[in-house]
Every structure is written in C-alpha cells, then in structure tokens.
Amino acid sequence: MNRIIERYFPAKLLSGQIRVVEQWLDALPEAWHSSSPSIVLARAGMLLITGQIDACAHCLDEAERLAQAQSDEVDLHQARVTAMRCNIACFQNDLAQAETLADQALQGLPEGDLDFRPGVYGALGDTYRRNGRWQEAQACYLSLLDFPHAPTFQVLAAHVFGALADLDLRQGRLRNAAGYWRDALVAIQDRTNWGRLLPLPVTGWVYIRLGELLYEWNELMEAWDHLSHGLERAELGGDVRALIAGYLVAGRLKLTAGDIEAAAAYLEQARSHVESAQFSHWVSRFERFRLELWLAQDRLRAAVNWADEMMQDAALKDRPESEVAQLAVARVLIIKGDGPVVERALALLGGLLQAAEEEGRLGVTIEALALQALAYWQRGQRVEALTALEHALRSAEPEGYVRLLADLGLPMARLLQEARARDVMPDYVETLLAAFSGDAASAASDQPALPEPLTEREEEVLELMAAGLTNPEIADKLVISPETVKKHAGTIYGKLGVHSRTEAAARARELDLLD
C-alpha cells in the first residue's frame, strides 16, 4: 500500500487534484493513518496545497515520529519530511529557511526520485520569483525539465511554461508571457497526452492567467470566456490558489462593467480563501482589489483608514507583494489630496520607481509613473505631470497595457485628454481613452470650469466629503440632516460633472476648489 501511495498521491497533489486525494485518504482505514509515514505525508501534502500550514506542520511532526519508530527507510522518510518543510518555508516566503531545507532535502533524496525533488525545485523557484531573484528562479524551473519520466511531467512542463510566463509578466513583458501561457495550455491539451494525467485544476490555472492578460489588454469578452473556463475547472478541483486568482480577476471584470454588486460578491468569495488558506503573498492583491471596490462604492473613508494603517506598519515594504500594497497606498494618498499627503505619495512612488527600475519590473514602473503624473497634476506641476505620463506611455505602449492606466479612473482620463490635446502619442492615447466608460470619457472632456458655481454650503459639504466624512458625520458637523447632505451631494455631483465622492474630490482639486 505504501508503494501505491508514494506512486500516485504526489502526482495527484502536484497536479492540483485535491478533492481526489482527500477522498482517497478518507477511504483508508484509520489504523493505517497512525502507522504509515507515507499516508501521513500524503495528508500533509494535501493540507499544504490547501494553505492549512499549521495542520501541515503537525502532520510532518507525526510523519517524522513514525519514520524514526520504524527501522526501514528512516533517512528517506526524513528527507521527504524535510522536502515538505521546505515547501512550508516557501509558502511562508521564508527564503533563507527554504534554501537551507532544500539543500538538506536534495542531499537526502535519491537522484531518481520523481516526486519530492521536482516539488522542491518548483516551490523554491516560485519563492525566488516572488522575491525578484529571476536567475535563480529560472534555474529551478529549468531543472524541472530534467524529470521527463516523472508521473506528472506533463503538468511539470505546463508549470514551467507558466512559471516562465510569470517571470515575464513580473518584468512587464505581457506578450512573451501570453506566449508561454498558450504553450502551457497546448502542453496540457495535446491529444497525445489524452488518457494520461490531464488535471482540471492545472488547466484552470492556465485559463485564469490567460484571462488576466486579456483583461489587461481590454479584450473583455475573451477574458471573461477564459476566466469562466478556468474557474469551472479550479472549482471542480478545489485548487485554492487558482480560485483566489480567478475570483479577483472576475471581480475586476465585473467592476469594469459597472456591476459593483457582482464585483463585491467575487471579493467575498476570494476573502474566504485568502483568510483561511494563509497564502500571505495573495493578501496584498486582495487588499488592492478591495480598495478599488471601496472607491467604486464611494467609501473613501474606508480607503483612507486602510492607507493610514499601512503607513503606520513598519513592515509594509517587507510584506510579500509589497509593491502592490505600496502602489495602492500611494493612490489613496493622491485621492485624499492635501499637500503633505501628496508629498508622502510622491516620496513613496520615488522609492518604488528606483527599486522597480533596478529590478526590471516594467509593470510597477509604469503604474508608479502614472500615479506620479496624477500627483504632480494635482499639485499644479503640469510640466512634470505630462513628462511622467509620457514616460509611462512610452514604456506601456509596446506591451499593449490598457487597464493598468484605465483603472485609475476619471483623473487619468482627464490627464490623457490633456496629453491628446498636446499630441502626445495620439494613437495610443486614443486607445486608452476608448477603454474608459462613456460617462468617464464624457466627464473627462474639455468643459468650462463650472457652468454653475457652488454655493457656500455646497463648498462646505464638498470639503468634508473630500476629507472622507460620511453623510451623518457631515450632517453632525454642519448641524443639518443627513438627507440634506445627500441632496447637496447630488447637486455638487451635477455641477462638477461627476458621479461619486472620489471623482468629486479629484475634480474639485483640479479646479482649485479645495483648500
């Protein structure tokens, strides 16, 4: 039985067939679970892949105890336990510990091991990639291709293509990344592989990542088609990582379509997995989409409070995917908009830009430059704003970036209108402006400063709205009813040609209506 478990369980786990493994384990007699290191290791692997790190560590302690109590293959079982501990360190982004454990595991595992050795290379490659160590990551992924006889080789090949795609994606090379993801899909769907290991979760992951790229290119219908295929497969297989990625992209698609309620529902689906699975490197991406949803829901106070908490966190720059969180914080600071706060945003963006340019992170560079342009524009530094924007556009155009800029909303639409008026990259700017909704494009068009001036009371309400106060809080400060505040807000939106508090604050600052 141990040989069967060792032969088939790792293959199923590596291919993302979590529910199959769970069913198999549940069908085994209870006595076997307390006597076989291989069975306990299989359960540990299932717990690891589903993000239950503490339970996985407990299983590994038990597997180690059982191995030491048996006289045969003690060193082999210990090496397998160490390989699994390496995987835990990788999941927790503890790179130094992961490297140490990887060395120990690879020394103890037989050269012909086709399960745990590939697992170590894959996990370590993913961790190098998250930490910007591109060459080490690439070396690990290429090592995976040295296992052509592994039961999961087709899956490993697909993973290598996907990993190489992600390396390109993290360096902003969207077109190369798309090519690798398509290669991964071909590797999985090749007819010569039919009847062999063709797991739904792996296919789902590839579809989801392709959908993410199509979303960035604003090919929204095709993106949704890929995403639907991907989520269907990920849900059937129980692949938590793919589900988180898929729900966040689905939420963005719904938000772009103006369906805020559906976007919020996808956020909640992602939340349950992010919070229970302990995938720390997904927290920043989750929080970023939550921030975008707050802005769409007009919950500026919630966004500002989150940014304030992040700025007080000394470990912000050390968290996994820290640049994602830092860009989100900078955006909130710019929207908040007073002088010292915008200065903090520019300082944050300056540090991000320097690091991104040193590491070759093109996507981060483009977004940081775009936010920098918005911050300069808000401070009245028009030349600096347009210079930063042109730099961003010239970096973004070859790879076809669209949503990265369009998702910055009405302030970016207005800045792009200014770029078009100055004949800055007119063809690309037209493509970007076409990605905005009709309302945003219309509101961004050149128009008189204000067709009707704000009343003194409306100016007071606008000031408090821009500070992030809720309607009841504004009512309390101005000694009026919340219903009156709501009516004033509607009038302010009409005069400014906007549809939300966030847009009203941005427009008011453009017109120098706020102190």
Pick the range with the lowest mean pLDDT from 115-124, 434-443, 477-486: 434-443
Count the Cβ atoms, other than its own, within 10 Å of residue 282. 22
pLDDT at 132 exceeding the cut of 50: yes
pLDDT at 39 exceeding the cut of 50: yes
Contacts of 505 (CB under 8 A, 6+ apart): 300, 335, 336, 337, 462, 465, 466, 514
Answer yes or no: pTM beyond 0.85.
no
Between 2 and 255, where is the model more confident? 255
Of 364, 365, 384, nearest to 373 (Cα)?
384
Question: Hey, what amino acid is at 425?
Answer: M
pLDDT at 397 exceeding the cut of 90: yes
d(CA 46, CA 40): 10
Confidence of residue 198 (pLDDT cuts 50, 70, 90): very low
Predicted pLDDT of residue 462: 86
d(CA 123, CA 274): 19
Question: Hey, what amino acid is at 60?
Answer: L
Mean pLDDT of 430-440: 80
pLDDT at 438 exceeding the cut of 60: no
Predicted pLDDT of residue 86: 94
- % of the chain with per-residue pLDDT over 90: 34
d(CA 262, CA 243): 16
d(CA 361, CA 198): 33
Mean pLDDT of 336-348: 86
Question: Which pair of tokens denotes residue 205?
Answer: 């992951």
Confidence of residue 194 (pLDDT cuts 50, 70, 90): very low
Mean pLDDT of 49-74: 81
Of 202, 162, 169, nearest to 184 (Cα)?
162
Confidence of residue 444 (pLDDT cuts 50, 70, 90): low
Between 358 and 217, where is the model more confident? 217
Mean pLDDT of 17-40: 68
Question: Hey, what amino acid is at 347?
Answer: A
Predicted pLDDT of residue 71: 56
Of 384, 382, 404, nearest to 393 (Cα)?
404
The 8-class DSSP code of residue 339 comes to H
Residue for token pair 């992600």 = 166
Confidence of residue 24 (pLDDT cuts 50, 70, 90): low
pLDDT at 33 exceeding the cut of 50: yes
Backbone conformation region of residue 381, classed left if phi is above 0, alpha if psi is from -120 to 50, else beta: beta
pLDDT 10s digits, 249-293 = 999 999 999 999 999 999 999 998 888 766 666 788 899 999 999
d(CA 52, CA 277): 6
Predicted pLDDT of residue 308: 87
Q: What is the CA radius of gyration of the chain?
A: 26
d(CA 504, CA 494): 10
| Contact by Cβ (8 Å): 514, 508 | yes
Exposure string (b/e) for 142-178, b if CB count within 10 Å is 16 or more?
ebbeebeebbbbbbbbbbbbbbbbbbbbbbbbbebbb
Predicted pLDDT of residue 66: 81
Q: Which H or E element spans position 274?
A: helix 260-277
pLDDT 10s digits, 227-245 = 999 998 888 877 788 899 9
Average pLDDT, the chain: 83
Of 129, 124, 127, 125, nearest to 104 (Cα)?
124
d(CA 168, CA 184): 14
d(CA 143, CA 74): 27
Of 378, 411, 412, nearest to 392 (Cα)?
412
d(CA 169, CA 185): 17
Confidence of residue 49 (pLDDT cuts 50, 70, 90): confident
Of 422, 449, 51, nearest to 238 (Cα)?
51
Contacts of 112 (CB under 8 A, 6+ apart): none
d(CA 200, CA 234): 7
pLDDT at 426 exceeding the cut of 90: yes
Mean pLDDT of 88-104: 93
| Domains defined along the chain, listed by start | 1-146 (1.25.40.10), 299-444 (1.25.40.10), 456-510 (1.10.10.10)
Predicted pLDDT of residue 327: 94
Angle, CA of 413, 403 and 494, to the nearest 5°? 35
Question: Which pair of tokens denotes residue 221?
Answer: 């219908």
